[in-house]
């Protein structure tokens, strides 16, 4: 049974609180980004002082080594100060003191500065995630251009060898770590309550925390560049991670903060979708995007704690000189590899599955026909999520693992292509014989087919041990990964941003600029990464800034193409920012003629989303069927909306 999201009369009023023996309390102060930075700075200074007080007499510190205890404590307590400055602890502390926190009433119109506060409005959090993820993506992209600039020549160098490795590690970590929430963050938080007929998320404060964890994570990770970086790369392999400087500690804490963000987001998503669905929204009627979000959330809940365990072990080895990962003192680096990849390979699908779900969600709108085999697409999402926990050791094929384990993990890795194929064929079937509208979002969605085909086919080869022995650690693997993730996920995100801008901001982006940016991005993306398959097969390894002179022309082609790709992405961002800040062309209600419940509330979306809890009658994919039955009744008569039943009408 779900929780009723309709406020009862009088609950929270002073007279009601007095009857319950509670005293109303307003927030002690309203935090913002500035107070959070001040709190973080104070916490950082206090943590550093405390760490020096605790560990300055350790023999290894007294002999001149860096004080890892002080580094870890300064970062951790700095994050506590960050959240204190945001006002996060108002609510729990007031509860502990026997007070009943009362949020001040807010107007229907959301202000600009509200997006810099610890907001519990899921729509504000979605916008915070949108621009936060855009910033993280652009910074990681600039680092990628730094890598490609170095690889213009095998003999004339821009960066020193250690600096090059720092940039490679920073780019990989920022993309893999920060981009995990690039769909669940903006689209999941903003859209899921609207799609399922709920007035809010289950745990609004947990939702707000999930975003504000990402900001110090990004700042700490970026600061590693000024502290020597981390030579271990984004995978953090021991013993390099144990021997690294302060930048490696930044890696540990930043990754852990992002892990806590993922846990907060996934708990919230699971609770919301299971409990807060509107009457009539049975599992069989639920949008495929909501299926994608709950699948990803369960995968996060099962895999991310293992990453936190691994980071804890690494921090103990670095901070207090345990030897759990250091083979020279009885530990094993395989422990970290298994802990990391038990998270790391499901994490690849934490990136891919939301892109699949978003693609299948949008395709019917522009094909003007129902989703082909809707239940099969759901089975594909669940199948990929389940099998993703049984493939992690294919990353250890060349690491000295037990040879008897190789056939098993080769088989499971190949099996995962079956549910992935379900999703691909469902998408193709949805487009087949549709009345396609070649709008900008549809162009990006069609590009997903081409890009993921390259990533999927090359992934089958990578799963075989003999081929993996040949291409392991080469640019072939990197090209496969970028086609699988960037070619699928980022193109789907670009489509989603363009598609949902009218709902979120009430404006429509410039179609001409949108199409120009699409063709530049699509052509330049393929021109950048297709040659890398050839470069990898010709023997060029990753993470090495010198290579054979015979490969210089191919590398120059790739580098120049990457600059064009960067220009295309910049043009897309300019279109977004210019349309929001300058032209502000009104989009009108439901410009794409979508049947989705999220489009029925209009712009601007009210604070409480719906005046009454809607009653859902069917799934939102009835395009081209001649059945004009509305997806939901937004104004149910009588007591139909009195109780939210988690979908059981």
* Angle between helices 374-387 and 333-367 in degrees, nearest 10: 170
| Residue 396, Cβ density class (10 Å: 0-12 exposed, 13-18 middle, ≥19 buried) | middle
Q: Residue 187: helix, strand or coil by DSSP? A: helix
Question: For residue 239, what are its two tokens?
Answer: 């013993």
- pLDDT digits over 529-549, tens only? 999 999 999 999 988 889 999
Cα–Cα distance, 477 to 559 (Å, whole number): 18
pLDDT band for 391, please (50, 70, 90 cuts): very high
Number of Cβ within a 10 Å radius of residue 449: 16
pLDDT band for 20, please (50, 70, 90 cuts): low
Q: What is the pLDDT of residue 249?
A: 94
Cα–Cα distance, 364 to 366 (Å, whole number): 5
**For the ranges 160-174, 431-445, 599-613, which has the lowest average pLDDT?**
599-613
Residue whose structure tokens are 């090209």 = 479
Cα distances (angstroms) measured from residue 487 to each of 288, 479, 521 = 21, 10, 10
Q: What is the pLDDT of residue 7?
A: 43
Number of Cβ within a 10 Å radius of residue 334: 15
- pLDDT digits over 238-295, tens only? 889 988 889 999 999 999 999 999 999 999 999 999 999 999 999 999 999 999 999 9
Strands 23-25 and 632-633: unpaired
Look at residue 4 and tell me whether its pLDDT is greater than 80: no
Farthest CA pair distance, the chain: 82
- pLDDT digits over 358-378, tens only? 999 999 999 999 999 999 999
Q: What is the pLDDT of residue 10?
A: 39
Q: What is the mean pLDDT of residues 115-122?
A: 88
Cα–Cα distance, 46 to 24 (Å, whole number): 33
Calculate the average pLDDT of the chain. Answer: 89
- pLDDT digits over 186-219, tens only? 999 999 999 999 998 999 999 999 999 999 999 9
Position with higher pLDDT, 401 vs 187 = 187
Look at residue 649 and tell me whether its pLDDT is greater than 70: no
pLDDT band for 110, please (50, 70, 90 cuts): confident
Q: What is the pLDDT of residue 244?
A: 86
Alpha helices in 197-287 (DSSP H): 204-223, 240-243, 246-275
Q: What is the pLDDT of residue 18?
A: 60
pTM over 0.85: yes
**Residue 588 in contact with residue 187, Cβ under 8 Å?**
no
Look at residue 400 and tell me whether its pLDDT is greater than 70: yes
Residue whose structure tokens are 């809707």 = 374
Number of Cβ within a 10 Å radius of residue 432: 11
pLDDT band for 19, please (50, 70, 90 cuts): low
Look at residue 642 and tell me whether its pLDDT is greater than 50: no
Q: What is the pLDDT of residue 8?
A: 40
Strands 23-25 and 99-101: parallel
Question: For residue 140, what are its two tokens?
Answer: 């990681």
Options 3.40.50.2000, 3.80.30.20, 1.20.210.10, 3.40.30.10; CATH of 119-582: 1.20.210.10
- pLDDT digits over 335-358, tens only? 999 999 999 888 888 889 999 999
pLDDT band for 404, please (50, 70, 90 cuts): confident
- Residue 24's φ and ψ, nearest 5 degrees, are -70, 145
**For the ranges 298-312, 488-502, 617-631, which has the lowest average pLDDT?**
617-631
**Residue 337 in contact with residue 392, Cβ under 8 Å?**
no
The H-or-E segment that residue 114 falls in is none
Torsion of CA 496, 500, 504, 509, to 10 degrees: 100
Q: What is the mean pLDDT of residues 209-236?
A: 93
Question: For residue 179, what are its two tokens?
Answer: 């981009």
Q: What is the pLDDT of residue 295?
A: 96
Q: What is the pLDDT of residue 636?
A: 72
């Amino acid at each position: 049974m779900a929780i009723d999201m309709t406020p009862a009369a009088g609950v929270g009023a002073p007279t009601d609180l007095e009857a319950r023996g509670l005293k109303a309390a307003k927030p002690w102060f309203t935090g913002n980004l500035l107070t959070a930075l001040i709190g973080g700075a104070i916490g950082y200074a206090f943590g550093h002082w405390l760490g020096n007080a605790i560990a300055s007499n350790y023999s290894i510190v007294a002999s001149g080594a860096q004080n890892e205890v002080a580094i870890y404590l300064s970062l951790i307590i700095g994050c506590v100060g960050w959240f204190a400055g945001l006002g996060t602890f108002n609510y729990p502390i007031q509860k502990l003191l026997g007070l009943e926190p009362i949020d001040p009433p807010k107007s229907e119109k959301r202000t600009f500065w509200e997006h810099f506060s610890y907001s519990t409005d899921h729509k504000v959090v979605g916008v915070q995630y949108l621009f936060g993820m855009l910033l993280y993506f652009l910074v990681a992209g600039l680092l990628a251009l730094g890598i490609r600039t170095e690889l213009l020549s095998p003999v004339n160098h821009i960066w020193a060898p250690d600096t090059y490795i720092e940039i490679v590690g920073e780019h990989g970590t920022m993309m893999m770590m920060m981009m995990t929430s690039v769909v669940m963050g903006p689209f999941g938080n903003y859209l899921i309550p609207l799609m399922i007929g709920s007035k809010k998320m289950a745990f609004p404060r947990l939702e707000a925390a999930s975003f504000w964890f990402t900001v110090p994570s990004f700042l700490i990770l970026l600061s590693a560049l000024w502290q020597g970086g981390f030579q271990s790369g984004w995978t953090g392999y021991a013993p390099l991670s144990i021997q690294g400087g302060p930048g490696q500690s930044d890696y540990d804490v930043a990754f852990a903060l992002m892990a806590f963000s993922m846990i907060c987001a996934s708990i919230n998503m699971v609770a919301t979708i299971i409990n807060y669905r509107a009457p009539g929204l049975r599992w069989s009627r639920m949008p495929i995007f909501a299926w994608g979000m709950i699948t990803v959330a369960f995968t996060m809940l099962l895999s991310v704690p293992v990453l936190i365990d691994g980071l804890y072990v690494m921090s103990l080895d670095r901070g207090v000189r345990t030897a759990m990962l250091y083979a020279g003192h009885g530990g094993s680096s395989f422990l970290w590899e298994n802990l990391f990849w038990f998270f790391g390979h499901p994490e690849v699908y934490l990136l891919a599955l939301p892109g699949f779900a978003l693609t299948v969600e949008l395709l019917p709108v522009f094909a003007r026909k129902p989703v082909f085999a809707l239940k099969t697409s759901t089975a594909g999402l669940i199948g990929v999520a389940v099998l993703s926990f049984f493939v992690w050791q294919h990353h250890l094929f060349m690491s000295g693992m037990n040879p008897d384990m190789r056939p098993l993990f080769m088989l499971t890795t190949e099996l995962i292509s079956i549910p992935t194929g379900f999703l691909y064929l469902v998408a193709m079937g949805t487009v087949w014989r549709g009345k396609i509208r070649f709008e900008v979002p549809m162009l990006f969605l069609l590009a997903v087919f081409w890009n993921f085909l390259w990533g999927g086919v090359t992934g089958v080869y990578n799963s075989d041990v003999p081929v993996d022995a040949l291409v392991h650690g080469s640019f072939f693997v990197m090209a496969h990964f970028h086609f699988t993730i960037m070619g699928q996920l980022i193109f789907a995100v670009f489509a989603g941003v363009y598609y949902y801008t009218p709902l979120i901001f009430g404006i429509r982006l410039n179609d001409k600029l949108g199409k120009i940016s699409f063709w530049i991005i699509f052509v330049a993306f393929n021109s950048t990464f297709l040659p890398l398959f050839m470069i990898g097969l010709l023997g060029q390894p990753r993470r090495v800034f010198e290579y054979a002179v015979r490969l210089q022309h191919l590398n120059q082609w790739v580098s120049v193409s990457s600059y064009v790709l960067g220009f295309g992405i910049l043009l897309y961002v300019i279109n977004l920012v210019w349309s929001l800040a300058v032209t502000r062309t009104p989009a009108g209600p439901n410009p794409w003629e979508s049947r989705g419940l999220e489009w029925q509330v209009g712009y601007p979306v009210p604070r409480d989303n719906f005046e009454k809890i809607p009653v859902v009658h069917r799934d939102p994919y009835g395009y081209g069927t001649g059945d004009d039955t509305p997806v939901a009744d937004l104004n149910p008569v009588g007591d139909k909306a009195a109780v939210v039943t988690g979908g059981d009408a």
